[in-house]
């Protein structure tokens, strides 16, 4: 008995795209969906009410960061992540595997788990599949992830194979360690850019059996065509009746390709991080608000966008806020970028629902090939 319930409402005819409905202990989610990233128990610069306002249905929180600060036990004593951060909707926590992988020289991998040093104070920590699950159970997200090893790119075949096999053994230990019945556990497919290893990973994970399956180890430096090839190859191998999630991607076009390959869930820091750097997403491509060309531009970021920011603020004002280092710049830019991502997902869902996703995808690319501004 899974803590979640997933139904494919419509399978697109021309592509692998699918419209779905995912019910979690904290509410229902329409898929395909983008999950804003709330690394430290806050989606940077946004309130939960604003997230709701722009159509966020589920958010992601980072286990590694919360384990380090303020500590998962503190969060548990405060009533769990939902209550702590005042977000009553669904939450997915990653397992910390990717963050620990990102520590590079600061971590050492063994069969048992990973020893690493905190990026904050250099203190030593040891995380195992069992403790990664325990930490996520303390945090209390609706969906928790298996602890995985993410191989670097490029890496030789035998390293990637051994790493994938370790991830599979860890996945089994995660499933066995799981205690709470009100959380779903997703397996993470590894195997680098090798299709046969990916297929093997999927087969092994499916044999163990999880509530959903995620592609890990993408967007680690590979070219986009390769990333798309892996998504396209893996999508059809995954079980039809469970949610499919591509971790840590990506740009708007990456999401479109992920949906096209039959994936349902995505997360990425790109819309929020780029916002804080002044890079804004629009229907006609990207726009860098720092540009002198916007100094006296009375237009909104995207004339086709209906968000609060585009309704009330000019590019000239947003450029001024950004140059002045104002917090409101981070706020308004983040709000717009997340609105763009979530609206793109809503548009994709509507297109799948009406059997027009292939056209939606073509038009998405056609618009962006038109005249762009400022980059």
Active-site positions read 94, 267
196 forms part of the interface with its own copies (CB under 8 A): no
Tokens of 368: 């962006």
Residue 339 parent element (H or E): helix 327-353
User: Considering only residues 5, 9, 77, 159, which one is a binding residue for its own copies as defined by CB under 8 A?
Assistant: 77
Task: Write the binding mask 86 to 105 for its own copies: x where contact by CB under 8 A, - elsewhere.
Answer: x-------------------
Work out the angle between the directed axes of helices 327-353 and 357-368 (0-180°, nearest 10).
140
118 forms part of the interface with its own copies (CB under 8 A): no
Work out the angle between the directed axes of helices 315-323 and 327-353 (0-180°, nearest 10).
130
CA distance 253 to 273: 17
In the complex, least distance from residue 313 CB atom to its own copies, rounded to whole angstroms: 6
User: Considering only residues 8, 155, 237, 316, which one is a binding residue for its own copies as defined by CB under 8 A?
Assistant: 316
In the complex, least distance from residue 53 CB atom to its own copies, rounded to whole angstroms: 11
Percent of the chain that is helix, strand, coil (3-state, to 5): 45, 20, 40
Count CB-CB contacts under 10 A for residue 28. Answer: 14
In terms of CB distance, is 72 or 200 closer to its own copies?
Answer: 72
Q: Is 124 helix (H, G, I), strand (E, B) or coil?
A: strand
Q: How many residues bind its own copies (CB under 8 A)?
A: 34
DSSP strand pairing (18-24 vs 5-11) = antiparallel
Task: Write the binding mask 256 to 275 for its own copies: x where contact by CB under 8 A, - elsewhere.
Answer: --------------------
Task: Write the binding mask 47 to 76 for its own copies: x where contact by CB under 8 A, - elsewhere.
Answer: x---------------------xx---x--
Residue in the block written with tokens 């063994």: 110
Tokens of 121: 């104070």
45 forms part of the interface with its own copies (CB under 8 A): yes
Stretch that binds its own copies, among 44-52, 162-170, 173-181, 195-203 (CB under 8 A): 44-52
318 forms part of the interface with its own copies (CB under 8 A): no
151: which residues sit within 8 A by CB, 6+ positions away? 159, 160, 163, 164, 190, 192, 217
Measured between its terminal Cα atoms, the distance across the chain in Å is 50
In terms of CB distance, is 68 or 249 closer to its own copies?
Answer: 68
292 forms part of the interface with its own copies (CB under 8 A): no
The residue ranges that bind its own copies (CB under 8 A) are: 40-42, 44-47, 69-70, 74, 77-79, 84-86, 295-296, 298, 312-314, 316-317, 319-321, 323-324, 326-328, 330-331
């Amino acid at each position: 008995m899974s803590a979640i319930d997933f139904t494919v409402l419509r399978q697109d005819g021309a592509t692998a795209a699918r419209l779905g409905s995912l019910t979690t202990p904290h509410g229902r989610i329409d898929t395909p969906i983008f999950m804003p990233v709330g690394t430290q128990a806050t989606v940077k610069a946004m309130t939960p009410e604003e997230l709701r306002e722009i159509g966020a249905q589920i958010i992601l929180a980072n286990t590694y960061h919360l384990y380090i600060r303020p500590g998962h036990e503190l969060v548990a004593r405060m009533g769990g992540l939902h209550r702590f951060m005042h977000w009553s909707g669904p939450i997915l926590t990653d397992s910390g595997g990717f963050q620990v992988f990102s520590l590079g020289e600061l971590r050492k991998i063994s069969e048992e788990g990973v020893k690493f040093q905190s990026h904050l104070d250099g203190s030593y920590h040891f995380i195992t599949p069992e403790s990664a699950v325990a930490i996520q159970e303390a945090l209390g997200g609706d969906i928790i992830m298996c602890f995985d090893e993410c191989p670097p790119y490029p890496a030789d075949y035998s390293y990637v194979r051994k790493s994938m096999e370790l991830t599979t053994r860890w996945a089994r230990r995660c499933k066995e360690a799981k205690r709470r019945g009100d959380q779903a556990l997703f397996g993470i497919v590894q195997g680098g850019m090798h299709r046969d290893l990916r297929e093997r990973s999927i087969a092994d994970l499916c044999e163990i059996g999880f509530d959903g399956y995620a592609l890990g180890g993408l967007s680690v430096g590979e070219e986009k065509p390769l990333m798309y090839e892996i998504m396209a190859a893996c999508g059809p191998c995954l079980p039809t009746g469970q949610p499919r999630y591509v971790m840590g991607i990506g740009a708007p076009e990456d999401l479109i390709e992920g949906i096209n390959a039959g994936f349902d869930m995505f997360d990425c820091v790109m819309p929020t991080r780029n916002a804080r750097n002044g890079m804004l997403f629009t229907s006609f491509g990207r726009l860098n608000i720092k540009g002198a060309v916007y100094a006296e531009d009375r237009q909104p970021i995207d004339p086709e966008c209906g968000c609060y920011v585009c309704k009330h603020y000019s590019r000239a004002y947003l450029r001024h806020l950004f140059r002045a280092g104002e917090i409101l710049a981070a706020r308004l830019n983040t709000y717009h970028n997340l609105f763009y991502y979530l609206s793109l997902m809503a548009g994709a869902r509507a297109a799948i629902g009406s059997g027009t996703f292939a056209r939606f995808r073509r038009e998405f690319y056609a618009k962006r090939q038109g005249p762009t501004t400022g980059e």
